C-alpha cells in the first residue's frame, strides 16, 4: 500500500476560525499532541503576522523532534527571513510559501499578469531555498486556475527549489471529479513533477472537503492537508481524523495508509475542542458524541448480537474507552502522576502539585473521577500559567428563584491587588452574574456567546463553560470548569478578560524591546 503523508494545519489554518485565539502554551500543547498522533508535518503558524505567532512557532520548532515543523509565508523576503528565524531550531524546518494563480485572484487581488506571478513565485522560492531544506509552494485558488498555466508555474517553481507542490481548493468550490482530474492533469503535464511531493488542501464550503481530498489521492497526490475536527476559515478544512479512519476502514478499496496512531484521535480531538473553544457537533463523524451511539431498537438489538451489524468503526480504534473509575479520594500523588503520564501529558512538578490538589478537591464532591475529568483539570492548569497579574475570584453568591429577582454578589482581586466587590440584578442568574463582573472589571466587555456543557455524564459531572467576549474591542475566548455551573461561568468570563490582559502585557513588552 502507498503511504500518504499527513500535513496538519490546525495551528495555522485552524486557528483562523472566527473567535479562536490560542496562546503560546496552548499551541505548544496541541503541537505535542499532534506529534503523539503521528502527523508527518505540522504547520505551526504564520510568524510574520505577529510577534505572538512568531514566539509560538519558535517554541514549537525548538520542542518538537519527531515531526517536521512548517511556517507560512507570503512571497515576500521579509516574511521568509522571519519564518527562518522562527524555524531554524527545528530538526526539519519547512517553509510554506503561497501565491494565487487563478484569473480572479491575479486580476483583482494581486493585480499582476501571469508572467509577473511566475516571476515572483520563482524568485521567492529560489530565495527561500538558500535557507530552507524543505519548501512547500502553494498555488492559492488552484481549483479555479487555468490548468495549462498551473502546469507552467508548477514546473518553474520546482526548478527553483520547491520540494512540495500544493494545489488547494481554497474556497471549497470544486467537486471530487474536477479536483481529481486537475491532479491527474498536473501529473501528466509537468515533466519534473516526480521530483516533489504533491499535496492537496481542501476547504469544506460545500461539505465535500474529505471527498475531494480522497479524490486527489486517487489521482496522484501523496500528501493530504487538513485540520483536527475540520476547523478552519469559514466552513473549515478537511477533517484529518475522518480521512485517516476512512482509509483504514476501507483499506479493501483504498490502497493508501497513513502513519497516524488512530488511538490518539479522540484525545487529539478533545484537546483541540477544549483549547479552541469549538465544540464538536454530536453527530460529527468519528469523534462526535453520537458516533458510536445507537438509539433505534433494531440497531441496538443488532449491535448486541454482533457489533459489525451497525458499527463499522469500533470505539477503541480511535481511542474511545468507557469512562470507568480509575482514581478516587484515597488515591495518592504517585498514582495520580502515573495517570497523567498515561494520558501522554508532560507536567512540571509545580503543575503536578496544582493538578493533584484540584483532583483531591474534586474527589470530595465526585465519586467517579474519569479520564475526561483529569484531562480537563490538567488542560486548565497547563495552559493558564502565564506569570501576569490578573483578576482572581475571591467569592461569589447568587440568589434566585421563581419568585425572586436574580441577584449576584461578587468579590474580586484586581490585577493591581485591590479587592473590589458589588452586586447586580438581572433577568436570570447568568445575566446577574455577568452584569456584576462587568461592573467590577475595568475593561469594557460585551458578551458575544455563552455555552455550558458537562464533562462526561452523571449528576456530579464537572461543568464546563465557554464564553466569547468583546474586550476593549477585541474578540477573546474564555473557558472555565468547576463542579458548579455558575462557578464555571464566572471562571470562563474571568479567563477571557485575563487572556486579554496577558495579550496586552506581552504586546507592551514587545514594543519596549523593539524600541530599544
* Residues 156-189: tens digit of each pLDDT: 999 999 999 999 999 999 999 999 999 999 999 9
- Considering the domain architecture, whether residues 398 and 362 belong to the same structural domain is answered as no
Using a pLDDT cut of 90, give the percent of the chain over it: 69
Look at residue 133 and tell me if it is in a domain: yes
- Considering the domain architecture, whether residues 376 and 405 belong to the same structural domain is answered as no
Q: Are 431 and 406 in contact (CB under 8 A)?
A: yes
Look at residue 360 and tell me if it is in a domain: yes
Say if residue 123's pLDDT is above 70. yes
Q: How far apart are CA 50 and CA 380, in angstroms?
A: 25
DSSP H helical ranges for 223-317? 240-249, 265-276, 297-305
Q: Which of 382, 403, 418 represents a domain boundary (last residue)? A: 382
Say if residue 430's pLDDT is above 80. yes
- Considering the domain architecture, whether residues 474 and 433 belong to the same structural domain is answered as yes
- Considering the domain architecture, whether residues 91 and 154 belong to the same structural domain is answered as yes
Helix (H) or strand (E) segment spanning residue 44? strand 41-45
Where residue 510 falls among pLDDT bands split at 50, 70, 90?
A: low
Question: How far is C-alpha 42 from the geometric centre of its chain's CA atoms?
Answer: 11
- Considering the domain architecture, whether residues 345 and 400 belong to the same structural domain is answered as no
Q: Which of 276, 291, 308 represents a domain boundary (last residue)? A: 276
- Considering the domain architecture, whether residues 500 and 449 belong to the same structural domain is answered as yes
- Considering the domain architecture, whether residues 229 and 173 belong to the same structural domain is answered as yes
List beta partners, residue 424: 408
Q: How far apart are CA 87 and CA 54, in angstroms?
A: 9
Which residue would you say has higher pLDDT here, 385 or 291? 291
- Considering the domain architecture, whether residues 450 and 496 belong to the same structural domain is answered as yes
Look at residue 433 and tell me if it is in a domain: yes
Q: What mean pLDDT, rounded, does the chain reach?
A: 90
- Considering the domain architecture, whether residues 346 and 404 belong to the same structural domain is answered as no
Q: How far apart are CA 61 and CA 27, in angstroms?
A: 11
Which residue would you say has higher pLDDT here, 402 or 395? 395
Say if residue 63's pLDDT is above 80. yes
List beta partners, residue 42: 8, 69
- Considering the domain architecture, whether residues 267 and 342 belong to the same structural domain is answered as no
SS3 462: strand
Number of domains in the chain: 3
Q: Find the domain containing 346 and state its range.
A: 333-382
- Considering the domain architecture, whether residues 272 and 404 belong to the same structural domain is answered as no
Question: How far is C-alpha 27 from the geometric centre of its chain's CA atoms?
Answer: 8
Look at residue 312 and tell me if it is in a domain: no
Read off the C-alpha cell for 212: 475531494
Look at residue 81 and tell me if it is in a domain: yes
Q: How far apart are CA 370 and CA 342, in angstroms?
A: 13
Average pLDDT for residues 467-480, to the nearest whole number? 91
Look at residue 283 and tell me if it is in a domain: no
Look at residue 453 and tell me if it is in a domain: yes
**Sequential DSSP letters for 365-410:** T-S-B-HHHHHHHHHHHHT----S---EEEEEEEEEETTEEEEEEE
Using a pLDDT cut of 70, give the percent of the chain over it: 93
- Considering the domain architecture, whether residues 158 and 9 belong to the same structural domain is answered as yes
Say if residue 294's pLDDT is above 60. no
User: Which CATH number covers residue 411?
Assistant: 3.30.160.270
Query: 209-218 and 240-249 are packed helices; what angle lies between their axes, rounded to 10 degrees?
Result: 50
CA distances from 105 to 113, 125, 218, 466 (A): 11, 20, 28, 37
User: Which CATH number covers residue 116?
Assistant: 3.20.20.70
How many CA atoms lie within 13 Å of 410's alpha carbon, on the beta-carbon side? Answer: 29
Q: Which pLDDT does position 323 carry in this prediction?
A: 47
Look at residue 319 and tell me if it is in a domain: no
How does pLDDT run across 191-223, given as a tens digit for each residue? 999 999 999 999 999 999 999 999 999 999 999
Question: How far is C-alpha 166 from the geometric centre of its chain's CA atoms?
Answer: 21
Amino acid at each position: 500500500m502507498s503511504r500518504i503523508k499527513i500535513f496538519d494545519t490546525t495551528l495555522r489554518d485552524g486557528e483562523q476560525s472566527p473567535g479562536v485565539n490560542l496562546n503560546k502554551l496552548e499551541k505548544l500543547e496541541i503541537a505535542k499532541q499532534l506529534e503523539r498522533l503521528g502527523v508527518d508535518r505540522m504547520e505551526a503558524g504564520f510568524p510574520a503576522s505577529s510577534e505572538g505567532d512568531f514566539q509560538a512557532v519558535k517554541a514549537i520548532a525548538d520542542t518538537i523532534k519527531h515531526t517536521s515543523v512548517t511556517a507560512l509565508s507570503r512571497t515576500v523576503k521579509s516574511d521568509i527571513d522571519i519564518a527562518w528565524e522562527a524555524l531554524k531550531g527545528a530538526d526539519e524546518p519547512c517553509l510554506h510559501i503561497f501565491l494565487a494563480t487563478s484569473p480572479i485572484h491575479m486580476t483583482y487581488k494581486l493585480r499582476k499578469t501571469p508572467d509577473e506571478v511566475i516571476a515572483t513565485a520563482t524568485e521567492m522560492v529560489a530565495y527561500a531555498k538558500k535557507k530552507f531544506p524543505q519548501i512547500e509552494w502553494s498555488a492559492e485558488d488552484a481549483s479555479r486556475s487555468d490548468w495549462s498555466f498551473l502546469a507552467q508555474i508548477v514546473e518553474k517553481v520546482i526548478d527553483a527549489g520547491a520540494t512540495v507542490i500544493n494545489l488547494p481548493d481554497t474556497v471549497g468550490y470544486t467537486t471530487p471529479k474536477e479536483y481529481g482530474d486537475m491532479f491527474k492533469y498536473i501529473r501528466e503535464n509537468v515533466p519534473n513533477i516526480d521530483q516533489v511531493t504533491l499535496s492537496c488542501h481542501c476547504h469544506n464550503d460545500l461539505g465535500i472537503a474529505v471527498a475531494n481530498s480522497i479524490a486527489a489521492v486517487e489521482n496522484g497526490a501523496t500528501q493530504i492537508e487538513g485540520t483536527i475536527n475540520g476547523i478552519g476559515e469559514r466552513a473549515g478544512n478537511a477533517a484529518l481524523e475522518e480521512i485517516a479512519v476512512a482509509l483504514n476502514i476501507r483499506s479493501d478499496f483504498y490502497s493508501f495508509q497513513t502513519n497516524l496512531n488512530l488511538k490518539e484521535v479522540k484525545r487529539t480531538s478533545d484537546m483541540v475542542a477544549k483549547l479552541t473553544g469549538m465544540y464538536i457537533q454530536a453527530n460529527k463523524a468519528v469523534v462526535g458524541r453520537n458516533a458510536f451511539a445507537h438509539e433505534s431498537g433494531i440497531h441496538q438489538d443488532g449491535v448486541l448480537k454482533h457489533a459489525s451489524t451497525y458499527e463499522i468503526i469500533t470505539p477503541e480504534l480511535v481511542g474511545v474507552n468507557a469512562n470507568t473509575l480509575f482514581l478516587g479520594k484515597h488515591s495518592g500523588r504517585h498514582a495520580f502522576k502515573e495517570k497523567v503520564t498515561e494520558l501522554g501529558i508532560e507536567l512540571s512538578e509545580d503543575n503536578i502539585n496544582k493538578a493533584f490538589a484540584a483532583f483531591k478537591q474534586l474527589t470530595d464532591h465526585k465519586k467517579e473521577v474519569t479520564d475526561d475529568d483529569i484531562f480537563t483539570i490538567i488542560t486548565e492548569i497547563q495552559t493558564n500559567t502565564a506569570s501576569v497579574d490578573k483578576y482572581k475570584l475571591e467569592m461569589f453568591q447568587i440568589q434566585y428563584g421563581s419568585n425572586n429577582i436574580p441577584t449576584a454578589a461578587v468579590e474580586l482581586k484586581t490585577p493591581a491587588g485591590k479587592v473590589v466587590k458589588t452586586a447586580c440584578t438581572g433577568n436570570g442568574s447568568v445575566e446577574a452574574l455577568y452584569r456584576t463582573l462587568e461592573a467590577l472589571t475595568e475593561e469594557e466587555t460585551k458578551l458575544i456567546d455563552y455555552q455550558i456543557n458537562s464533562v462526561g455524564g452523571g449528576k456530579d459531572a464537572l461543568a464546563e463553560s465557554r464564553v466569547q467576549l468583546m474586550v476593549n474591542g477585541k474578540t477573546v475566548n474564555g473557558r472555565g470548569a468547576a463542579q458548579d455551573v455558575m462557578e464555571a461561568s464566572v471562571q470562563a468570563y474571568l479567563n477571557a478578560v485575563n487572556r486579554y490582559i496577558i495579550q496586552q502585557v506581552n504586546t507592551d513588552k514587545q514594543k519596549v524591546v523593539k524600541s530599544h
